[in-house]
Amino acid sequence: MSTAPSGRWREWAFGRLRDQGPAAARVLVIGAIAWQVTVWAGAHNPPVYAVFAPLMALRSDPFSSLTAVALRVLGVMAGVAVGLFVVTLLTPSFAALVVVLGLALLLGALIGPGRALNPQVGLSSLLVLSNPLPDAYGITRVWETGLGGIVTIVLAPLLWPPHPHRELTALARECTQWLPALLVGSVAALGDPALAQENRSGVAVEVERLRRVREWTLEAERAMRFNPLRRGDREQVAALAHRLRIVAEGAPYIDLLAVEADVLSARDGDSAALRRAGTELPAVVGATGRTVAALLAGRDPAGEAAVARDLLDRYRHEDPQAVAVALRRPFHRLLDLWDPPPPAPGQDRAGPGV
d(CA 121, CA 127): 10
d(CA 222, CA 156): 15
Predicted confidence at residue 330, as pLDDT, reads 95
For residues 92 and 48, the answer to whether their CB atoms sit within 8 Å is no
Pick the range with the lowest mean pLDDT from 40-44, 115-119, 240-244, 315-319: 115-119
For residues 288 and 311, the answer to whether their CB atoms sit within 8 Å is no
Does the pLDDT of residue 294 top 90, yes or no? yes
Alpha-helical runs (H) found in the chain: 3-40, 48-57, 66-87, 94-110, 120-129, 139-155, 164-188, 193-225, 234-248, 251-268, 272-296, 302-318, 322-338
Predicted confidence at residue 2, as pLDDT, reads 45
Which pTM was predicted? Answer: 0.64
Q: Please count the residues of the chain.
A: 354
pLDDT per position as a tens digit, 220-250:
777 776 666 666 677 888 899 999 999 999 9
Cα–Cα distances in angstroms (integers) from residue 305 to residues 178, 257, 344, in the given order: 18, 18, 17
d(CA 139, CA 218): 38
Higher pLDDT residue, 80 or 132?
A: 80
Q: How many CB atoms lie within 10 A of CB 133?
A: 8
Mean pLDDT for all residues in the chain:
82
For residues 229 and 165, the answer to whether their CB atoms sit within 8 Å is no
Cα end-to-end distance, the chain, whole Å: 56
d(CA 141, CA 81): 9
